[in-house]
Structures are given as structure tokens and as C-alpha cells.
Amino acid sequence: RQNKSVILYMRYITLTEEEQNLLQTMKKETTSKILLPRIECILLSHQGMKVKSLSAYLEVVPKTIYEWMDLWEKEGISGILP
């Protein structure tokens, strides 16, 4: 039986090419200190970065990473906008 937290740390976001392009453009253009880490979280997750690593890199608790992922999965780009 695996520990549930281990399974959660393996969560990733899968993006379409269009979503990747949109997020890359937004990352270059945004001046929002709130939006930038959310964009980076989604892009880096798509590239295979684990939740624990995302949490350390973006200096937020894992719960925040999961919340951003949930918002993305439920609402797309509008979900992560401040």
C-alpha cells in the first residue's frame, strides 16, 4: 500500500501546444508578482517537475501548488488569474 502523499507528489499538468504558447507569452508579458509563479507552476509541472520541487522552487507550500493545479484543471487560464 502506497502512502497517499507519495501519489500526490507525482501529480502533473498536461498542456496542449496552444496552452503552452499562451502561458509562455503571458510569462514574458506579465508584471504581476501573483500571476507569474502560477504560470511557472503550470509550465514546469507540464515539463515534469514534481510538486515537492515546484514547492521549493516557487517558495510556497505544496498545498498552494495543488490549489493552483486544481484551479487550472477546473477553469484553465481564468482559474489562475489573480
DSSP at 47:
T
pLDDT tens for residues 28-53?
A: 999 999 999 999 999 999 999 999 99
Q: What is the Cα–Cα distance from 71 to 42, expressed in whole angstroms?
A: 10
Question: pLDDT at position 10, please?
Answer: 78
The candidate with the shortest Cα–Cα distance to 33, out of 58, 66, 52, 63, is 58
pLDDT tens for residues 9-33?
A: 578 999 999 999 999 999 999 999 9
Mean pLDDT computed over 57-75: 96
Place of cell 509563479: 37
